[in-house]
Amino acid sequence: GQNIDQPTEMTATEGAIVQINCTYQTSGFNGLFWYQQHAGEAPTFLSYNVLDGLEEKGRFSSFLSRSKGYSYLLLKELQMKDSASYLCAVTGGGNKLTFGTGTQLKVEL
Amino acid sequence: GAVVSQHPSWVICKSGTSVKIECRSLDFQATTMFWYRQFPKQSLMLMATSNEGSKATYEQGVEKDKFLINHASLTLSTLTVTSAHPEDSSFYICSAEGGREKLHEQYFGPGTRLTVT
């Protein structure tokens, strides 16, 4: 089976750094994705990790530890527009995505 | 590149009627498309995997006779919600695999909000 855990909500200040954690227990693992989803919209791709380590892409970075079943998404220089839900998703066999429950991030002034 | 469209973006229908939702990959061919459902404040739940030219593979608990999926071409998959009921009201999202160079990426459509009255 698949079990993916994320915090439900987080609040951070504009300009700050926030780390959103994701732990997973899955029967198969091909890679881990992070998506951003604004209310009423479809998810947009942020990052993909298949090997251990840190992937940096502008203000967003994603880390993966396969041995620990753990990932995090790091958002730097937070902006108000970063307020959204952040979804951790794991692919097992056949490229099927299993999503976590999502973390609702609120960025405040 | 890698744009996926859905039509309609929203639909309201009466209980007992059927609704068809289209998912198109606009600038790439998608052998595999996925259909998800998302209830308010919940995450995406995979309903089925749609492969071009073959029958869809449904996830456990999803009624294949109620949610008919057709993937007749490499750029189009359709989901028909038959005999819709208020509990089927949800946000339906499709995604398509990103072609030969980006097999690991799924590109999502903008979603279709279905309201059954």
Kindly list the residues from chain B whose CB atom is less than 8 angstroms away from the CB atom of residue A101: 42-43
Q: For A33-45, what is each residue's pLDDT tens digit?
A: 999 999 888 888 8
**Shortest Cα–Cα distance, A41 to chain B (Å):** 6
Average pLDDT over residues A84-89: 96
Task: Inform me whether the pLDDT recorded for B101 exceeds 60.
Answer: no
Tell me the count of A-B CB pairs closer than 8 A.
50
Cα–Cα distances (Å) from A84 to A11, A50, B12, in that order, read 11, 24, 26
pLDDT at B51: 86
Q: CB–CB of A43 and B104 under 8 A?
A: no
Kindly list the residues from chain B whose CB atom is less than 8 angstroms away from the CB atom of residue A27: none
Percent of chain B whose predicted confidence (pLDDT) is above 90: 69
Q: For A46-74, what is each residue's pLDDT tens digit?
A: 999 999 999 998 999 999 999 999 999 99
Q: CB–CB of B34 and A87 under 8 A?
A: no
| pLDDT interval class at B98 (50, 70, 90) | low
| pLDDT interval class at B40 (50, 70, 90) | confident
d(Cα B10, Cα B12) in Å, to the nearest integer? 7
